[in-house]
Amino acid sequence: MTRDQASGLRMMNQPNNDKVKVIAVSGGKGGVGKTSVSINTAVALAEKGKRVLVLDADLGLANVDVMLGIRAEKNLSHVLSGDAELDDIIVREVTKGIGIVPATSGTQAMVELTQAQHAGLIRAFSEMRTQFDILIVDTAAGISDMVLSFSRASQDVLIVVCDEPTSITDAYALIKILSREHGVFHFKIVANMVRSLREGMELFAKLSKVTDRFLDVALELVATVPFDENLRKSVRKQKLVVEAFPKSPSAIAYHGLANKIMTWPIPQQPGGHLEFFVERLVQRKPTEEDRASE
Ligand SMILES: Nc1ncnc2c1ncn2[C@@H]1O[C@H](COP(=O)(O)OP(=O)(O)OP(=O)(O)O)[C@@H](O)[C@H]1O
């Protein structure tokens, strides 16, 4: 770590960034509902008085853009190159209490960031003036280094699954690589697009059966989101279901998840969790060369 990075991390010992909870939303497979979970839960948390930042680590702002009819001129890549500050790229017009950090363009892996970009990322977080309580990271599909870095760095990892063989196998592959190579052993499962609570529990049981058999991990079912036509209807209105149809089954489920999140412990280490998050985010996996020089 360079001197710049270390001093950037020390700067995070400020009340501004104290006690931030960081949650990654992953899933392995695309289209399982990660963005819907991230953004609706963020709004539900905001309605309960939390200040929430959603870091869109998916490709572009495509999903959120389409969902909400917003367009971002600058994104995380401008922050990494030093052309913008995090505070300046946050999209705030979505709904009161939440801000969105648009994704970096392309799929550049966090582990492939240059030294200057590493320092830029740490500086960007440490200098952030925006105050928030919860950071939700909406990761991309797949098991790219970027997805792994964000999941490894977060305090809680939510895995969204639906009842399709490919969703279950992709979620399993993600859990396997996170546990075997990145030291993540606890996963909070969201069963999405299910027809009943029972179907949600069966889906969770299917996934747990394989993880129990082959991996040393702990899974917890934290939400069952019903299949809900209102979700698609609200997208057509460029609104979120929690706002457009607050009494619909999925909105109730997102609120239930938000209530649970409010009970999860907040990190107590000095500087809150943001320092830890950024430190882990930019950590490289040791290379053969590193090992040889040890
Ligand atoms: N519970 C649900 N009921 C019905 N439709 C849903 C539900 N959850 C998500 N969807 C729909 O499924 C589609 C994919 O959802 P979403 O974009 O949230 O998934 P994603 O995992 O973020 O996808 P991607 O990997 O492409 O970013 C959207 O059209 C969304 O409206």
Q: What is the 3-state secondary structure (H, E, C) of the chain?
A: CCHHHHHHHHCCCCHHHCCCEEEEEECCCCCCCHHHHHHHHHHHHHHCCCCEEEEEECCCCHHHHHHHCCCCCCCHHHHHCCCCCHHHHCEEEEECCEEEECCCCCCCCHHHCCHHHHHHHHHHHHCCCCCCCEEEEEECCCCCHHHHHHHHHCCEEEEEEECCHHHHHHHHHHHHHHHHHHCCCEEEEEEEEECCHHHHHHHHHHHHHHHHHHCCCEEEEEEEEECCHHHHHHHHCCCCHHHHCCCCHHHHHHHHHHHHHHHCCCCCCCCHHHHHHHHHHCCCCCCHHHHHHC
In a domain, 288, yes or no: no
Return contacts of 231-236, CB within 8 angstroms, 24+ apart: 231/36, 235/66, 235/67
The reply to whether ligand 1 has any atom less than 6 angstroms from the CB of 34 is yes
C-alpha 60 – ligand 1 centre gap (Å):
16
CA distance 228 to 37: 13
In a domain, 293, yes or no: no
In a domain, 27, yes or no: yes
Q: Please identify which residue in the block is written with the tokens 């797949």.
A: 142
CA distance 229 to 276: 39
Per-residue pLDDT of the chain (294 residues; tens, 9 = 90+): 444 444 444 444 444 446 788 899 999 888 899 989 999 999 999 999 999 999 887 654 445 655 666 677 787 778 877 788 888 888 887 777 889 887 765 545 555 667 677 677 777 877 788 888 999 988 877 777 777 888 888 889 999 999 999 999 999 999 999 999 888 999 999 999 999 999 999 999 999 999 999 999 999 999 999 999 999 899 888 889 999 999 999 999 999 999 999 999 876 665 566 777 777 776 755 445 544 554
In a domain, 289, yes or no: no
The CATH number of the domain where 277 resides is what? 3.40.50.300
Tokens of 125: 């977080």
Q: Domain of 53?
A: 3-283
C-alpha 264 – ligand 1 centre gap (Å):
25
The reply to whether ligand 1 has any atom less than 6 angstroms from the CB of 227 is yes
Number of structural domains, the chain? 1
The reply to whether ligand 1 has any atom less than 6 angstroms from the CB of 193 is yes
**What is the value of pTM for the model shown?**
0.86
Q: Determine the atom of ligand 1 nearest the C-alpha atom of 63.
A: 17
| Closest Cα to atom 14 of ligand 1 | 31
In a domain, 39, yes or no: yes
CA distance 289 to 233: 53
CA distance 148 to 221: 21
In a domain, 263, yes or no: yes
In a domain, 124, yes or no: yes
What is the number of other CB atoms lying within 10 angstroms of the CB of residue 109?
Answer: 13
In a domain, 115, yes or no: yes
